[in-house]
Structure 1
Amino acid sequence: MGEMVREEILRRVKKAEVFSIIIDTTTDVSNLEQFSLVLRFVNEEGQTEERLVAMKEVPDSTGFKYNLDWTTKLCAQSYDGAASMQGQYFGPRSYVQEKNPNAIYIWCFAHILNLVVVDTCDKYSNIRNFFGDVQQLITYMRAKKRTAIFLEQQIKCYPSERPCRMKNFSTTRWTSHDRALSAITMVDVCAKKLSELRNEQSLNDLITKTKYFVNEIGLVECELPNIRSRRRKLLPGEIVSDKVITNPYEKFKIEVYYVVLDQVNTSIISRFEGARDILSNLSLLTFDRLKATREGTEIPQDNFIAFMNWIPNLTLDNLKMEYTIFASSFINLYNGIHFSSINSNKDLIIDSENETKYDSDSSNEIDSNEET
């Protein structure tokens, strides 16, 4: 049965001619690397389909046995954000693009945003130590006896709520449910906002909110611990003084706050930069871009160039003209549809008046024709 379904999927893919692939790997409970291959294509009805065609161990995951002409028909490829998968010089991405330069690479934004978080957490030793301590606390509390006590206390303190269990940290897809990934403009907004946060006022606001939160939940320590001044003896001939930051807030600002903001900003810009060209073309189908084109905004010169590789007889100027006509027609159609006001009394009165007017005009026209 499974083979019959796979054959039907492959038949549809071959009939569609152009397709894209989505590849991901994961380790199962037996520590075997499992490989999943998903094909994305447009069917005969013009609908986009995504179909899983393979779930194999990595040594048997080449995909050649499915007889797909990926060297000429593959238009896009997508993997997770790992460097081993998306490497520009090594890995599946480089191998596929070497055989098929038209197979553009699509980033997995859930993995990329997760890697931004990972880069930030690994940048500063205190952050690594903090998450390490939290993980050790979770491991300690997840013991059977302590888990039972923890659940009993939850039921006792919060009888109307569902008991929760402590979960280990996930190393991937920490932010996979963030809807902000749907728009590349959010990346620019985040980068700008992070740059604006790099000042004394933002730091003071953060410290104030943190102290309020600490006092609200009843923690004992609400101030950063004082730093002991440790000085070392100067060596013979050494004239450089040993400057030690003794102010805990100044140390937090320099070694944590600014470091984290700079790292997040750098990671966001570097990891999302490669997707701008692709999303620039996709943005042509958004409502704002269609509206701007109708109002006279020029189409960027580098748009639609990727289509030339797949449609040899396509003229770029004609395609831009067709897009301009489509934008104007779409906005006119959108403005002419008002579903929310169809049943309003005001519209009914106006329609009745217009109908009477049209009837009067028609009768006058008939009378004039009869006189003639």
Structure 2
Amino acid sequence: MALCLRYVNKKGEVCESFLGIVHVPNTTSLPLKSGIELLLMEHSLTFSQVRGQGYDGASNMQGSINGLKALILEECPQAYFVHCFAHQLQLTQVALAKKNSDCGWLFVDVLAPLLNFVGGSPKRKEFLREKQAQRVVEALSLGELESGTGLNQERGLVSDAIDSNKAQALTHLLMSFDFVFVAHLMVFIFGITNALNVALQKRDQDIVNAMTMVDVTKINLQKMRDEGWDSHMEKVTSFMAKYDIEIPNMEERYHVPGRRMFRGKSPQVTNLHHFRVEVFLSVIDLQLQELENRFPEISKELLVCMSCFNPTNRFSSFDKRKLIQLAKFYPNEFSTTEMIFFDWSLQNFIVDVRGDERFWNLKSLHELSMKLVETGKSETHDRVYLLLKLVLVFPVATASVERVFSSMTQVKDKLRNSMGDQMLNDCLITYVEKEMFLKVSKDDIINRYQNMKTRREQL
């Protein structure tokens, strides 16, 4: 199990640091809680100091009765739980393949066998690589693709073998209007949701901006639903014409490609109805519904209160009443006596920052936090700054933890696969937090090593 801490440093910067890994006998909630507690104690920390917890949403983590989040909330009621936003987004898109038959057909019946077929042969992969490189060069010369760092990169393929006799059947499906239509639709949807996905991978993401990006994604999807049919059909038909693929008559009855239907079971709708209503509108509605269902898991009241700290447009969202309500979520930090005067603390704060032009162009809570420290106002408005820090430590996504597991493949490779837990932990910390360790001088390292025990020679 890997554990990362999210905190605000003395400069007002939000940091996510890898604390270490813990060996647990199993993944049930009790051993996980004990492992976290022991690791915190090693660094002189306790659960009473925790003000937020975030996981990927597995049942052993977020179970309302015996889950890890419930056990920690019993010990520290102010450690509010956030289901990883990036994982939530992934689940919304997995639902498309499960709940819409056309999306399921695209991913399961067409793309999965295609990747297996190509990936099972080095000759096929090389042939595809050459064709793709040629296509990228042609598209760049025609201005159809943009060039730049990270663009047009080669992707990996699954390497399971498959019967090559299916190649002809796959080719037939790939040359069908159904495949082109649904594939273009999914690229469109992934393009809209990708901005949210990228934002959730940033280390400095805060919960207010994350929720804003969720709303932006919903707005763009709704706009695509209301206004995007004609432009989508134009792209699909243009693609079909370019590769000489037959375009069906939209007024004729729809026939399912590559799937034999029993008499009386075949669709009784036109191509236009199927592609516009049963695919285009249905898939977008499903994506919108999944986003709506999965992201309001955190208390809406808590989220609305947090958004009142947003500094954009000279704190146009500021609301004293809601921020006072937010402070009541943290009785350990704000006593009943303090709450009597907190109204005036907020009033003094908002008058001060609205009158200071150094705060006029701030875009995020992180910028606000750092500017308060930079200008010394974090001490002038110390109680308001404390409330802001409590908002900032909310873990929006578990990207930092996921990076740790990715790093394990670099640290514990085939030549070092027998290293113990302690050695793995030490190597991972220095590898993952390399930026922090680069600031440590060589003399400090030598002195620390020299003072560990008496040695024959001084380094």
Q: Secondary structure at the match of 1:106?
A: strand
Separation (CA, whole Å) in 2 of partners of 1:48 and 1:41: 6
* CA gap 1:257/1:317 in 2 versus in 1, 3 angstroms: farther
* CA gap 1:304/1:122 in 2 versus in 1, 3 angstroms: same
Question: What letter corresponds to residue 198 of structure 2 in structure 1?
Answer: D
Question: What letter corresponds to residue 53 of structure 1 in structure 2?
Answer: L
**What residue in structure 1 maps to residue 172 of structure 2?**
none
Question: What letter corresponds to residue 148 of structure 1 in structure 2?
Answer: E
Separation (CA, whole Å) in 2 of partners of 1:291 and 1:49: 24
Question: What letter corresponds to residue 130 of structure 1 in structure 2?
Answer: L
Question: What letter corresponds to residue 284 of structure 2 in structure 1?
Answer: L
Q: Does 1:221 align with 2:198?
A: no
Separation (CA, whole Å) in 1 of partners of 2:5 and 2:46: 11
TM-score normalised to structure 1 length: 0.63
> Do the aligned residues in 1 keep the contact of 2:307 with 2:317 (CA within 8 Å)?
no
1:77 alignment partner, one of 53, 57, 61: 53
1:150 alignment partner, one of 113, 123, 128: 128
Q: Secondary structure at the match of 1:303?
A: helix
**What residue in structure 2 maps to residue 164 of structure 1?**
154
CA apart distance, 1:327 = 1.7
Bigger Rg, structure 1 or 2: 1
**What residue in structure 2 maps to residue 364 of structure 1?**
none
Aligned residues: 287
* CA gap 1:188/1:314 in 2 versus in 1, 3 angstroms: farther
The percent of aligned pairs where both chains have the same amino acid is 21
1:256 alignment partner, one of 262, 270, 279: 279
> Do the aligned residues in 2 keep the contact of 1:211 with 1:222 (CA within 8 Å)?
yes
Q: Does 1:210 align with 2:186?
A: no
Separation (CA, whole Å) in 2 of partners of 1:316 and 1:324: 13
Q: Secondary structure at the match of 2:281?
A: helix
Normalized per residue, which structure has more helix?
A: 2
Separation (CA, whole Å) in 2 of partners of 1:111 and 1:310: 31
Could you report, residue by residue, the CA deviation over 1:164-215 in whole angstroms, capped at 9, with x for unpaired residues? 244459xxxx95743388342343344455456556x643443233223333
Question: What letter corresponds to residue 118 of structure 2 in structure 1?
Answer: M
CA apart distance, 1:288 = 3.1
1:100 alignment partner, one of 76, 79, 83: 76
Q: Does 1:330 align with 2:353?
A: yes
CA apart distance, 1:309 = 3.9
CA apart distance, 1:80 = 1.5
Q: Secondary structure at the match of 2:5?
A: strand
Separation (CA, whole Å) in 1 of partners of 2:129 and 2:157: 14
2:211 alignment partner, one of 175, 184, 195: 184
Q: Does 1:52 align with 2:18?
A: yes
* CA gap 1:226/1:219 in 2 versus in 1, 3 angstroms: farther
> Do the aligned residues in 2 keep the contact of 1:293 with 1:324 (CA within 8 Å)?
no
1:312 alignment partner, one of 335, 343, 347: 335
CA apart distance, 1:78 = 0.9
* CA gap 1:151/1:309 in 2 versus in 1, 3 angstroms: same
CA apart distance, 1:273 = 0.9
**What residue in structure 2 maps to residue 135 of structure 1?**
112
Could you report, residue by residue, the CA deviation over 1:297-334 in whole angstroms, capped at 9, with x for unpaired residues? 65436332223343325533422321221122112222
**What residue in structure 1 maps to residue 309 of structure 2?**
285
**What residue in structure 2 maps to residue 27 of structure 1?**
none
CA apart distance, 1:57 = 4.2
Q: Does 1:64 align with 2:37?
A: yes
Structure 2: give runs of 5+ residues left out of the alignment: 26-30, 141-146, 160-192, 256-260, 362-459
Separation (CA, whole Å) in 1 of partners of 2:334 and 2:359: 34
CA apart distance, 1:47 = 5.0
Structure 1: give runs of 5+ residues left out of the alignment: 1-34, 233-241, 339-372
Q: Secondary structure at the match of 1:184?
A: helix
TM-score normalised to structure 2 length: 0.53
Separation (CA, whole Å) in 1 of partners of 2:95 and 2:325: 33
> Do the aligned residues in 1 keep the contact of 2:53 with 2:82 (CA within 8 Å)?
yes
> Do the aligned residues in 1 keep the contact of 2:37 with 2:47 (CA within 8 Å)?
no
Normalized per residue, which structure has more strand?
A: 1
